[in-house]
Amino acid sequence: MIEQARQTLKRVYGYDSFRKGQEDIISGIMSGSDTLAILPTGGGKSICYQIPAMLLPGTSLVISPLISLMKDQVDALRRVGVSAAFLNSSLSAGEYREIMHGALQGEYKLLYVAPERLDAPMFQSLSERLAIPLIAIDEAHCVSQWGHDFRPSYRQLAGWIGRMANRPLVAAFTATATNEVAKDIAEMLKLRNPNVFVTGFARPNLSLSVVTGVDKKSFLERYAAERKEQSGIVYAATRKEVENVYEQLTRSGIPAGKYHGGLSDAERADTQEKFRFDDIRVMVATNAFGMGIDKPNVRYVLHWQMTGDIESYYQEAGRAGRDGEESECVLLFEPADMQVQRFLIEQGSGDSDRKAIQLSKLHLMMNYSRTQRCLQQFIVDYFGETGVEACGKCSSCLDKSEPVNRTEEAKMALSCVGRMKGRFGVTMAAKVLKGSRDKRLLEFGLDRLSTYGLMRHLPEKEIADWLYWLVSEGYLKLSEGQYPVVSLTANALPVLEGREMIMQRVRTSVRQSVGTDMSSAASPLFEALKQWRKEKAAAEGVPPFMLFFDATLREIANAQPQTGEQLLGIKGIGAAKADKYGGQLLEIIRSLGSQGAPVRTDAGIQQQFSGTIKRPQTGDEQPSHLTTLEFFQAGREPEEIAKARGMSKVTIEGHLIRSAEEGHELDWSRIIPAEYEQRIMEAIDKLGADKLRPIKDALPDEVAYFAIHGVICKYGLKG
Ligand code: ADP
């Protein structure tokens, strides 16, 4: 059976081997067991139910709350030749009826359904008329109130499934579940003796960082500017923050989109599409953005503020690098942000029990933000996994800074808080330490405290952060409620009595760019393939990644397959894609031949191309004429470049002239035949450079317009 699954993996998806856990999960399902599988984001859950669905007779249902993910998966399945459809609220009544009709005829191997769309009668009619061998439940943690994204509609599933005449197999999938949540999922979905698979939570392609003590604005600006050609998400906690960050990025010339609950559906859908299609690279969003984002080539996720819990953080951060390539997750941390999260929890819905759970989760998140342990280890530990080695690339692992002794500042702060007798909040304590002339402060006579003005050399905000840090370290505590007051804990005493030192590490370093920034692995062939993909995807109305991932194009550029069979050996090319696009891919490879050989480093690029190109930008951001220039510098003729890039020869020639006009060096001898150069100049001299036609007519036929244009440009004869 597993051999059949392996063949399907190769034939349909073009992958050679299963990833960790996939094989066991698929075998389990195929041998008739209910399943609970916990795989990290990007671990490859979909294949675990798609392959059994293809192999089992009948139509398998996939329950998923993620509308745009459903659409992507169905599109992707159809592309590889598997019949699939979805039912959710994005369909018109007509489309809905049509798909339901098709479904009842058994036309689909997979039918994706949003839980909100399911009701008892619908379930019944589907189950009476269809052979349903398997129900796969994606994002299964939504059934648990302990999870971070509880959805009441998930609660009904077990009842309906239980009432089906022939109860199908049930396979539940999630990426983020603590032991508690996993147990809850199995119970709530009434799984029968499920095989439970936990393949581990670690995401080896992610570099996690916590950055603290920086000016967030300038950090973000620099960070995004350095990654202009990469897709990234910036998460902020509130709509207002999203607006601010968005403004800031746009003002500094970084094209960004914004996404939050206060925008209209149309605005949100529009921005989301632009992001998916790589038309905008940075998306600034609240957590409203994400359920449903399945963009595989997100290279970084930056959190402007901490989230309320580790599950949310890891799920949001985990949207980076779903394609398995190196990606970064950066958390900008200011202790005061904890207040924002507390506020959100206290204002939120939910009873006091739920709020208490949320507050304790918030504390763990706070611990993550300041831990000196390997961040990847910290997270997997949180999900109950042990024995994972330190990742060696998170900000903790890379932190070589010596801790700083901050006992004196701690004593000042603690004694000040002690003197304020638990009647004021952090802001007021900071004002006292600053020596502020705040009206309320003076009214309360706080300027008479001996600690008044003790830290006047520091900005008030920094003092407040310092107090929050002491809270997070457990020396101070905040009361519950909307206006929390700050007071000492028992841990403060040894510090005040000089028996304990307080050491603090300040981490600001994030590696400047992802270690293997594969997007800069440029070669003319890779660029040509990307350009082709972009145009093709636009013509088909799908995002570029739907055709091929960068990794697949890169492998093509490296391996340069010459036949259809060799093409099938490339990871990510299955039979359907080879059939559809193989001819075009081979044509591009052939037309660029060995000149397309990959160039891996910037230094390498500079060696290969003339030194006049400063630093060839790569990625889709590079102006098209400079890509043409690179081809030309690499020895290709305009005609070949035109073919490879799917553009007209005239356009390509225009690109080269434009490059020269911008000061890039061109090898004119390849454009202007030496034997005619003098005659062309004479003709221009006589006839002027305003119109090319009379010049062309005055010269032998074999002198091309491009040569004339070349002479005008080379000698600056225009106008
Ligand atoms: P998840 O739902 O677990 O986040 P997906 O099912 O979206 O992950 O898979 C993530 C990516 O990994 C997809 O692009 C998928 O095609 C790819 N993938 C899955 N299984 C394999 C495999 N065995 N070999 C190579 N790539 C795989």
CATH of the domain at 620: 1.10.150.80
pLDDT of 99 strictly over 70: yes
Task: Quickly state the pLDDT bin for 510 (edges 50, 70, 90).
Answer: low
pLDDT of residue 602: 30
Average pLDDT over residues 541-558: 86
Looking at the structure, do residues 376 and 448 belong to the same domain, yes or no?
no
CA-CA-CA-CA torsion for 591, 597, 600, 601, nearest 10 degrees? -90
Measured by CA distance, the residue closest to atom 23 of ligand 1 is 18
Buried b (16+ CB within 10 A) or exposed e, 211-233: bbebebeebbbebbeebebbbbb
Percent of the chain with pLDDT over 70: 91
pLDDT of residue 615: 27
Among 13, 63, 79, the mutation site with the greatest number of ligand 1 atoms within 8 A of its Cβ is 13
Distance from C-alpha of 514 to C-alpha of 563, rounded to nearest angstrom: 34
341 domain-assigned: yes
pLDDT of 599 strictly over 70: no
Compute the distance from residue 79 Cα to the ligand 1 centre, in Å: 16
Ligand 1 binding pocket includes 315 (Cβ within 6 Å): no
Sign of CA dihedral 458, 463, 466, 467: positive
pLDDT of 516 strictly over 60: no
Looking at the structure, do residues 161 and 245 belong to the same domain, yes or no?
no
Ligand 1 binding pocket includes 655 (Cβ within 6 Å): no
pLDDT of residue 148: 63
pLDDT of 514 strictly over 60: no
Q: Return the minimum-mean-pLDDT range out of 54-68, 443-457, 493-507, 645-659.
A: 645-659
689 domain-assigned: no
Average pLDDT over residues 409-435: 95
Distance from C-alpha of 207 to C-alpha of 322, rounded to nearest angstrom: 13
Measured by CA distance, the residue closest to atom 27 of ligand 1 is 44
pLDDT of 421 strictly over 90: yes
Query: And the tokens for 715?
Result: 């000698």
Q: Yes or no: say if 327 and 206 are a contact pair by the CB < 8 Å rule.
A: yes
Among 16, 23, 46, 293, the mutation site with the greatest number of ligand 1 atoms within 8 A of its Cβ is 46
pLDDT of 120 strictly over 90: no
Q: Yes or no: say if 295 and 332 are a contact pair by the CB < 8 Å rule.
A: no
Q: For residue 16, give the ligand 1 atom closest to its CA.
A: 24
Distance from C-alpha of 680 to C-alpha of 708, rounded to nearest angstrom: 6
710 domain-assigned: no
Q: Cα 287 vs. chain centroid, distance in angstroms?
A: 13
Ligand 1 binding pocket includes 140 (Cβ within 6 Å): no
Long-range contacts of 152-155 (CB under 8 A, 24+ apart): 153/115, 153/116, 153/118, 154/63, 154/65, 154/115, 154/188, 155/188
Ligand 1 binding pocket includes 39 (Cβ within 6 Å): yes
- CA distances 76 to 41, 278, 544, 574, 705, Å, are 18, 18, 12, 12, 46
In 277-324, where do the E strands start and end? 282-285, 298-303
For helices 705-714 and 649-661, angle between their N-to-C axes, nearest 10 degrees = 10
Measured by CA distance, the residue closest to atom 19 of ligand 1 is 44
Q: Which residues contact 321 (CB under 8 A, 6 or more apart)?
A: 42, 203, 205, 206, 298, 299, 327
Buried b (16+ CB within 10 A) or exposed e, 605-632: beebbeeebeebbbbbebeebbbbbbbb
Question: What single-letter DSSP state applies at residue 143?
Answer: G
Q: How many CA atoms lie within 13 A of 631 on its CB side?
A: 29
700 domain-assigned: no
Looking at the structure, do residues 362 and 495 belong to the same domain, yes or no?
no
Average pLDDT over residues 260-288: 89
Average pLDDT over residues 343-353: 78
In 452-533, where do the E strands start and end? 476-478, 486-488, 503-504
Question: Which H or E run includes 275?
Answer: helix 265-276
- Strand 298-303 to 327-333 pairing: parallel
Residue 436 Rama label (left phi>0; alpha psi -120 to 50; beta): beta
Task: Out of 169, 198, 227, pick the residue that ends a domain.
Answer: 198
Compute the distance from residue 204 Cα to the ligand 1 centre, in Å: 14
Task: Out of 139, 173, 198, pick the residue that ends a domain.
Answer: 198
DSSP string, 635-699: T--HHHHHHHHT--HHHHHHHHHHHHHTT----GGGTS-HHHHHHHHHHHHHH-SS-HHHHHHTS
Residue pLDDT, tens place only, 602-637: 322 222 222 222 223 333 456 778 888 888 888 888
Q: Which residues contact 601 (CB under 8 A, 6 or more apart)?
A: 520
Buried b (16+ CB within 10 A) or exposed e, 703-712: bbebbbbbbb
711 domain-assigned: no
Buried b (16+ CB within 10 A) or exposed e, 341-355: bbeebeeeeeeeeeb
**Higher per-residue confidence, 107 vs 397:** 107
Residue pLDDT, tens place only, 673-696: 988 988 998 888 888 877 777 888
Among 12, 19, 198, 570, the mutation site with the greatest number of ligand 1 atoms within 8 A of its Cβ is 19
Query: Minimal CA–CA distance to 35: which of 173, 139, 182?
Result: 173
Ligand 1 binding pocket includes 296 (Cβ within 6 Å): yes
Task: Quickly state the pLDDT bin for 176 (edges 50, 70, 90).
Answer: confident
Q: How many CA atoms lie within 13 A of 695 on its CB side?
A: 26
Compute the distance from residue 582 Cα to the ligand 1 centre, in Å: 22
Average pLDDT over residues 39-67: 91
pLDDT of residue 194: 93
Compute the distance from residue 294 Cα to the ligand 1 centre, in Å: 11
Q: Return the minimum-mean-pLDDT range out of 54-58, 76-80, 215-219, 341-345.
A: 341-345
Task: Out of 198, 229, 262, pick the residue that ends a domain.
Answer: 198
Ligand 1 binding pocket includes 44 (Cβ within 6 Å): yes
Compute the distance from residue 327 Cα to the ligand 1 centre, in Å: 16
Q: Yes or no: say if 152 and 125 are a contact pair by the CB < 8 Å rule.
A: no
Task: Quickly state the pLDDT bin for 86 (edges 50, 70, 90).
Answer: very high
pLDDT of residue 719: 55
Measured by CA distance, the residue closest to atom 16 of ligand 1 is 44
Compute the distance from residue 451 Cα to the ligand 1 centre, in Å: 58
Compute the distance from residue 161 Cα to the ligand 1 centre, in Å: 28
Among 47, 50, 74, the mutation site with the greatest number of ligand 1 atoms within 8 A of its Cβ is 47
Measured by CA distance, the residue closest to atom 17 of ligand 1 is 44
pLDDT of 518 strictly over 50: no
Distance from C-alpha of 550 to C-alpha of 7, rounded to nearest angstrom: 24
Ligand 1 binding pocket includes 28 (Cβ within 6 Å): no
Q: Cα 668 vs. chain centroid, distance in angstroms?
A: 44
Ligand 1 binding pocket includes 14 (Cβ within 6 Å): no
Average pLDDT over residues 11-33: 91
Looking at the structure, do residues 467 and 440 belong to the same domain, yes or no?
yes
Q: Cα 18 vs. chain centroid, distance in angstroms?
A: 23
Query: And the tokens for 565?
Result: 């069979």
Compute the distance from residue 22 Cα to the ligand 1 centre, in Å: 10
Question: What single-letter DSSP state applies at residue 153?
Answer: G
- CA distances 232 to 229, 268, 318, Å, are 9, 17, 12
Task: Quickly state the pLDDT bin for 302 (edges 50, 70, 90).
Answer: very high
Looking at the structure, do residues 39 and 126 belong to the same domain, yes or no?
yes
Distance from C-alpha of 195 to C-alpha of 172, rounded to nearest angstrom: 10
pLDDT of residue 617: 33
Looking at the structure, do residues 581 and 630 belong to the same domain, yes or no?
yes
Compute the distance from residue 18 Cα to the ligand 1 centre, in Å: 10
Residue pLDDT, tens place only, 151-173: 777 888 888 888 887 889 999 99
* CA angle (660, 666, 669) in 5-degree steps: 130
Looking at the structure, do residues 6 and 28 belong to the same domain, yes or no?
yes
Q: For residue 9, give the ligand 1 atom closest to its CA.
A: 23
Looking at the structure, do residues 187 and 211 belong to the same domain, yes or no?
no
Domain extent at residue 317: 206-382
pTM for this one? 0.65
Ligand 1 binding pocket includes 370 (Cβ within 6 Å): no
158: three-class secondary structure by DSSP:
helix
Query: And the tokens for 188?
Result: 């709530």
Task: Quickly state the pLDDT bin for 182 (edges 50, 70, 90).
Answer: confident
The amino acid at residue 31 is: S
Distance from C-alpha of 148 to C-alpha of 77, rounded to nearest angstrom: 29
pLDDT of residue 570: 87
Ligand 1 binding pocket includes 18 (Cβ within 6 Å): yes
Average pLDDT over residues 273-280: 87
Q: For residue 45, give the ligand 1 atom closest to its CA.
A: 3
pLDDT of residue 592: 77
For helices 624-633 and 638-645, angle between their N-to-C axes, nearest 10 degrees = 130
**Higher per-residue confidence, 6 vs 510:** 6
pLDDT of 147 strictly over 70: no
Measured by CA distance, the residue closest to atom 2 of ligand 1 is 45
Ligand 1 binding pocket includes 19 (Cβ within 6 Å): yes
397 domain-assigned: no
For the chain, counts of helices (H) and of strands (E): 33, 17
pLDDT of residue 50: 97
Residue pLDDT, tens place only, 451-508: 999 999 999 988 988 898 888 778 998 887 667 889 999 999 999 999 999 888 765 5
| Domain count along the chain | 4
Looking at the structure, do residues 308 and 425 belong to the same domain, yes or no?
no
Q: For residue 18, give the ligand 1 atom closest to its CA.
A: 23
Task: Quickly state the pLDDT bin for 141 (edges 50, 70, 90).
Answer: confident
Measured by CA distance, the residue closest to atom 14 of ligand 1 is 323
Looking at the structure, do residues 320 and 448 belong to the same domain, yes or no?
no
Compute the distance from residue 278 Cα to the ligand 1 centre, in Å: 20
Looking at the structure, do residues 146 and 215 belong to the same domain, yes or no?
no
Measured by CA distance, the residue closest to atom 24 of ligand 1 is 15
Ligand 1 binding pocket includes 43 (Cβ within 6 Å): yes
* Average pLDDT of every residue of the chain: 84
CATH of the domain at 500: 1.10.10.10
546 domain-assigned: yes
pLDDT of residue 436: 95
113 domain-assigned: yes
Q: Yes or no: say if 54 and 29 are a contact pair by the CB < 8 Å rule.
A: no
pLDDT of residue 648: 67
Looking at the structure, do residues 211 and 189 belong to the same domain, yes or no?
no
pLDDT of 374 strictly over 50: yes
CATH of the domain at 346: 3.40.50.300
Q: For residue 294, give the ligand 1 atom closest to its CA.
A: 7
Ligand 1 binding pocket includes 322 (Cβ within 6 Å): yes
Q: Cβ–Cβ contacts within 10 Å for residue 562, how many? A: 11
Q: Looking up tokens 């958390």, which residue turns up?
A: 331
Q: For residue 296, give the ligand 1 atom closest to its CA.
A: 14
Q: For residue 175, give the ligand 1 atom closest to its CA.
A: 3
Compute the distance from residue 25 Cα to the ligand 1 centre, in Å: 14
